[in-house]
Amino acid sequence: MSKSMEWLKRNKYDLIAWLGFVFYETILVGLLFNQFVNFFIYFAHYAVIIVFFYIHANYTLPYTLKNKTRAIFLLPAIIIVQITLYILAHRLVDIILFALEIIKPDAYNKFGSDYILRNIYRGLYFLGFSTGYYYLRNYFKERKKTEELEKQRLNDVILQQQTEQALAKAHNAFLKAQINPHFLFNTLDFVYHHVNEHSPMAGETIISLAQMMRYAIDADKMGEFVELGDEIVQVENLIYLYQIRKKQ
């Protein structure tokens, strides 16, 4: 049951198209011309048409169009063979239906030029639709393949960015682990108190540097977003340190 549902889901658009087309040719045309025939006649002849349609789209065109040179010489010959088989298949159906007395003798068509020309026209008609179906199906396949490749590329880019971010965080954590923050800041505080008495500028420099280092170490604890004011303070500290270096 599940396989049948999968098949129906996969071919639902084809089924809808064929049902619409058969409805048009049998019901609407029949109402317009007041001409209806036995259901088995419709079923048998449309079965031939559908088989012819999918053989051309699924086998003939994929085989011949693989090579352009082969297509130029081989495709016309195969089309002639297909049209011939199409005519003979319909004739065989008529003979079987006539033998089963589904087709009445007065409605039995003779195998003449009118019969052949009519079926050549119908064969070329469905062959054209089959060719359009082949190219349309390939177009959607290629578009789906392109979308999948683009989606895969975007996923790869996102994964690469996530990997780079993880490596950066791991590298930062490794550097932080090599430095004992308490020891570092206690040392800077000790230096500040002993230097500030003799050089207030040097003391302010140590304070600014300590603030920037503390902010960098505590950055991971703040989450993805930080307050703008904190960022401004760090920029001011950085500018101050550059100004001090330039003055020396």
Single out the residue of 50, 63, 26, 40 nearest to residue 126, CA to CA.
50
Q: Per-residue pLDDT averaged across 1-27, rounded?
A: 80
59 shares a domain with 125 = yes
Q: Give domain status of residue 204, yes or no.
A: yes
The Cα 214–Cα 131 span in angstroms is 71
The Cα 234–Cα 211 span in angstroms is 8
The pTM assigned to this predicted structure is: 0.59
Q: Give domain status of residue 25, yes or no.
A: yes
108 shares a domain with 43 = yes
Q: Which domain holds residue 64?
A: 39-147
Q: Give domain status of residue 130, yes or no.
A: yes
48 shares a domain with 23 = no
Q: Give domain status of residue 17, yes or no.
A: yes
Number of domains in the chain: 3
DSSP 8-state secondary structure symbol assigned to residue 63: H
Contact between 82 and 131 under an 8 Å Cβ cutoff? The reply is no
200 shares a domain with 227 = yes
Q: Give domain status of residue 173, yes or no.
A: no
Q: Per-residue pLDDT averaged across 218-222, rounded?
A: 63
Q: Give domain status of residue 4, yes or no.
A: yes
pLDDT in tens, 171-181: 776 666 555 66
Q: How confident is the model at residue 225 (pLDDT cuts 50, 70, 90)?
A: low
Q: Give domain status of residue 5, yes or no.
A: yes
134 shares a domain with 78 = yes
136 shares a domain with 84 = yes
